[in-house]
Chains A and B, each alone.
Chain A
Amino acid sequence: MTMTDLLQNQIQKEISELTDSINLIVDNFKTLRNPLAESHEKVPIAARQLDKVTEQTEAAANRMLDMLETITERQGEVITGLETIKGEVEKQGAEELTTLANSLVEKVNTNLNDAYSIMDALQFQDITSQQVNHAVSLLEDLGGKLQTIVTAFHGNPPEETAEEMPRKERAFDPRADMNDKKTNQADIDNLFNNRA
């Protein structure tokens, strides 16, 4: 066997091994194709579930606002009534009743302020819905990338599933947070006070 024959055999062996390796990689990709396609199909389902969280917390927050508006209006009427009673008992010099009326007015005012505090706390709904929208947007981006990979395996785009739906426009602050304000109000005010 000549040197050229030996070299040729060696090259053929290398090519054969290389082909085997490529076939193995292709087989591995083929086994990955179905799980990737499945994951791609699950993205819109997850996005829809997260959208439902936003819809349901918004509906709940609005039901709470309905009740709080009713409560605050009613408490206002109670305070007006108690003030009238207080005026009358003061005129009659009934000290004990005046003290009681004062105490009741104070308690109703505390209830009213508590109701307003609950109302203020419902701002969480807007902030958490922005956080959820951010998460959905990331999921949708991931879905797009998965689709590109699945399309590459299939040679054409995967069939649209029943769960597919057009991407809706989402407006959110990716850094929205209930507690972590990057700039405090005093610094914001300074910026505005020192503007040119």
Chain B
Amino acid sequence: MADLKILAVDDSPTMRRIIVNTLKRAGYTDVVEAQDGKDALAKLKVESINFVITDWNMPEMDGLTFVTTMRSTDDLKEIPVLMVTTRSVKDDIIDAMKAGVNSYIVKPFTPDTLKQKIEQILAG
């Protein structure tokens, strides 16, 4: 946990703050923020990120395109991704899974679910 640097990607500043606070309570204090997929890719280039939490619906570059780009980029394809979004239709979840998302949470989420999913992904 000590070496874990998380990138939280969401276009809503409120949601980013809630995610950052929830992560802090769970013991994950090293968090970088990005407002969309494009911004996130830029942050991934300069920061040593080893876990990504991303929203789906964002301007500039949405979460699905962002994850697809990550999975086709050598340096980024192994970084675990947790998607946190309002999209709860099964077909959307399957699309996210196909894009390479490791796990998926529908908003509004509980802190326990967020913590549990991070731990599950990290445990492999």
Task: Indicate if B18 sits at the interface (CB-CB under 8 A).
Answer: yes
> Would A183 and B106 count as touching, CB distance under 8 A?
yes
Q: Which of B14, B17, B103, B104: most chain A Cβ within 10 A?
A: B14
- Please provide the chain B residues from 85 to 119 with a CB less than 8 Å away from any CB of chain A in the complex: 85-90, 93-94, 97, 102-111, 113
Interface segment, one of A10-18, A35-43, A57-65, A90-98:
A57-65
For the complex, give the distance between the alpha carbons of A142 and B119 in Å: 46
Chain B residue at minimal CB-CB distance from A124: B108
Task: Indicate if A122 sits at the interface (CB-CB under 8 A).
Answer: yes
The listed residue (B18, B94, B109) touching A65 by CB distance below 8 A is: B18
Write out the residue numbers on chain B whose beta carbons fall within 8 Å of the beta carbon of A125: 12, 14-15
Shortest Cβ distance from residue A80 to the other chain B in the assembled complex, whole angstroms: 16
> Would B14 and A126 count as touching, CB distance under 8 A?
yes
The listed residue (A58, A127, A170) touching B59 by CB distance below 8 A is: A170
> Would A123 and B109 count as touching, CB distance under 8 A?
yes
For the complex, give the distance between the alpha carbons of A62 and B90 in Å: 32
- Please provide the chain A residues from 116 to 148 with a CB less than 8 Å away from any CB of chain B in the complex: 116, 119-127, 129-130
Write out the residue numbers on chain B whose beta carbons fall within 8 Å of the beta carbon of A178: 108
Chain B residue at minimal CB-CB distance from A66: B17
Write out the residue numbers on chain A whose beta carbons fall within 8 Å of the beta carbon of B86: 126-127, 130, 173, 175-177
Shortest Cβ distance from residue A170 to the other chain B in the assembled complex, whole angstroms: 7
Task: Indicate if B13 sits at the interface (CB-CB under 8 A).
Answer: yes
> Would B14 and A62 count as touching, CB distance under 8 A?
yes
Q: Mark A164-196, 1 if CB is under 8 A from B, else 0.
A: 000001111101111011110101110110010
> Would B59 and A169 count as touching, CB distance under 8 A?
yes
Write out the residue numbers on chain A whose beta carbons fall within 8 Å of the beta carbon of B88: 175, 180-183
Interface of A, helix, strand, loop or mixed by DSSP? helix
The answer to whether A120 and B12 touch (CB under 8 A), given A62-B17, A183-B89, A188-B93, is: no
Task: Indicate if A88 sits at the interface (CB-CB under 8 A).
Answer: no
For the complex, give the distance between the alpha carbons of A195 and B97 in Å: 8
> Would A120 and B18 count as touching, CB distance under 8 A?
yes
Write out the residue numbers on chain B whose beta carbons fall within 8 Å of the beta carbon of A130: 57, 86
Task: Indicate if B51 sits at the interface (CB-CB under 8 A).
Answer: no
The listed residue (A72, A116, A172) touching B57 by CB distance below 8 A is: A172
Task: Indicate if A69 sits at the interface (CB-CB under 8 A).
Answer: yes
Q: List 22 A-B contacts (CB under 8 A).
A: A58-B13, A61-B14, A65-B14, A72-B21, A116-B21, A119-B22, A123-B14, A123-B108, A124-B108, A126-B10, A126-B14, A126-B107, A169-B59, A171-B59, A173-B56, A173-B57, A181-B106, A182-B89, A183-B93, A188-B93, A188-B104, A191-B90
Nearest 5 CB-CB pairs, A to B?
Answer: A176-B86, A123-B108, A126-B12, A182-B88, A126-B15
